[in-house]
Chain A
């Protein structure tokens, strides 16, 4: 509740000046006191019969005493007090709006910093929660392929990520179709409503729009009956407007990333196809490498680079002639020297692609040995990129456990013993240890039949 203090009003320089002027004009002693009787101006005359109230909206906030003329002063003060009250309530409202703007501003900043769809959606929900009272919040996106409206992020008990509505059904579905934000304060009487996990009474739903296309909705609901107002809906729409652009942005980034990965993977598979013996080798080396990387505690970014490097570890073989690559018999020293060129060829190829340049060390050095007797540069120990050390173990393990042109696959047990025996010489012992840990935890997806 906003209140106006008569004391503060009277003490204001300009008001005080006017009161003095008026009392001078009416030429009788005047006093002003607050509602509790405390003197604010002049001296209180107990016997003065004339006292006039200073009022705001029929509530007395003080008195002016001193002859009939004091009534004018009381009216003036009532008028000023009323203006003060209005100014304060406008000020309070403006400040509320300003707070919302600051929050939206913060939201916009945070959102543009993120390129992950689910993370963006979660930020939107967190922000909506601080601005609008609700029990359940969710961001749902239209899945073009399935035609479902899928929950991407949520809070509360009503909806959970992974759940979905058939597009076009429910109130959310209807908002997608019309592209118009809605308030429903009496849900039970709305025929479109599809009951969910909890009973809700009121809801608001705003479309996430990119130009004229609706890509999803932001949905909030309250279990207790509340009256959402047009102001609330305007705020939700403002959040939706900002969120839509950023979610679209994140999705475009995701799809770009996926296109890139698919292209790279297809490239790796094409190379693999030349050598029918190595079918599935790339995929398995990727899986082993990622499992080892996770045990070693690599960051998500590093795991992502490891995945790419493992995918492309043999890309340099594209430069090796079929006659040598596919030869069934023993390789001559000259032919073997040619095979050993594949990491160098890989470097030449990857250097052309800006987004792959940083994985060159991981690819180029996957045939280096921990003891420095590998190729192409005879690097040793920690001088070899950790991703290359991981791929080396993964690559060797897969080579041993699959059939090759010149020999049959070893048994799993012999392959494991072989890794163990070469730990510290050919392989980084830490990486071998991580390999065994991943193996024990069944994270390598290897068939364990002995």
Chain B
């Protein structure tokens, strides 16, 4: 079963993303959430989601570090990681590339864009 992990320290963003991705739940995809980097790493290893929406700005372990651990240290190169970055804060593309992030989307995100991205990624993984 495909799984999507949502990682953000802000409750409302987690809820909005869950709501945005609700249609996938209807199709049998499991939606998981984590509210910090540590929890995200734990869930990533236990549940092995295929797609992660990962907030960059989080206290303690930030999104870049989570991404780096997952893609390099844990060697989970197949996980598709979408970095979420706040508008106004210039996304460090070089760093994103360095840690192996697949793509980034700015907040406030456009829900349709999130759904399209998830469809693209999960569509590929299912086939």
| Contacts from A to B (Cβ < 8 Å) | 8, 88, 91-92, 94-95, 98-99, 101-102, 105-106
Contact = CB atoms under 8 A, between A and B. Distances in A.
Contact of B15 (A94, A99, A102, A106): A94
A101 B15 CA distance: 16
Interface size class of B (residues with CB under 8 A): 10 to 19
A130 to B, nearest CB: 12
B62 interface: no
Scoring A8, A95, A101, A105 by chain B CB atoms within 10 A of each residue's CB, the highest score goes to A95
B45 interface: no
A8 B19 CA distance: 15
A105 B18 CA distance: 22
Majority secondary structure, B binding face: helix
B39 to A, nearest CB: 14
A99 B111 contact: yes
Nearest to B113: A102
Contacts of A102: 108-111
A8 B110 CA distance: 27
B25 A8 contact: yes
Contact of A91 (B19, B108, B109, B110): B19
Contact of B108 (A8, A92, A101): A101
A91 B15 contact: yes
Interface in B1-29: 12, 15-16, 18-20, 22, 25
Contacts of B111: 95, 98-99, 102
Contacts of A105: 87, 108
Contacts of B15: 91, 94
Interface in B40-84: none
A95 B109 contact: no
Ordered nearest first, which 4 A-B pairs have the shortest CB separation?
A91-B19, A95-B19, A102-B108, A102-B110
B108 A98 contact: yes
A91 B25 contact: no
Given A94-B16, A102-B111, 15 more contacts: A8-B25, A88-B19, A91-B15, A91-B22, A94-B12, A94-B15, A94-B19, A95-B16, A95-B19, A95-B20, A98-B111, A101-B108, A102-B108, A102-B109, A105-B87
28 contacts: A8-B25, A88-B19, A88-B22, A91-B15, A91-B16, A91-B18, A91-B19, A91-B22, A92-B19, A94-B12, A94-B15, A94-B16, A94-B19, A95-B16, A95-B19, A95-B20, A95-B111, A98-B16, A98-B108, A98-B111, A99-B110, A101-B108, A102-B108, A102-B109, A102-B110, A102-B111, A105-B87, A105-B108
Contacts of B19: 88, 91-92, 94-95
A99 B25 CA distance: 20
Contacts of A101: 108
A88, A91, A98, A106 pick with most chain B CB within 10 angstroms: A98
A279 B18 CA distance: 74
A252 to B, nearest CB: 26
A235 B25 CA distance: 30
A68 B110 CA distance: 50
Which of A92, A94, A102, A106 counts the most B-chain CB atoms under 10 A from its CB? Answer: A102
Contacts of A95: 16, 19-20, 111
A242 to B, nearest CB: 15
Contacts of B20: 95
Nearest to A87: B15
Nearest to B28: A8
Nearest to B87: A105
A322 B16 CA distance: 77
Nearest to B108: A102
Contacts of A91: 15-16, 18-19, 22
Contacts of A88: 19, 22
A94 B12 CA distance: 9
A400 B111 CA distance: 66
A94 B15 CA distance: 9
A449 to B, nearest CB: 63
A106 B25 CA distance: 29
Contacts of A98: 16, 108, 111
Nearest to A3: B26
A88 B110 CA distance: 19
Contacts of B12: 94
A108 to B, nearest CB: 11
Interface in B85-127: 87, 108-111
A88 B19 CA distance: 8
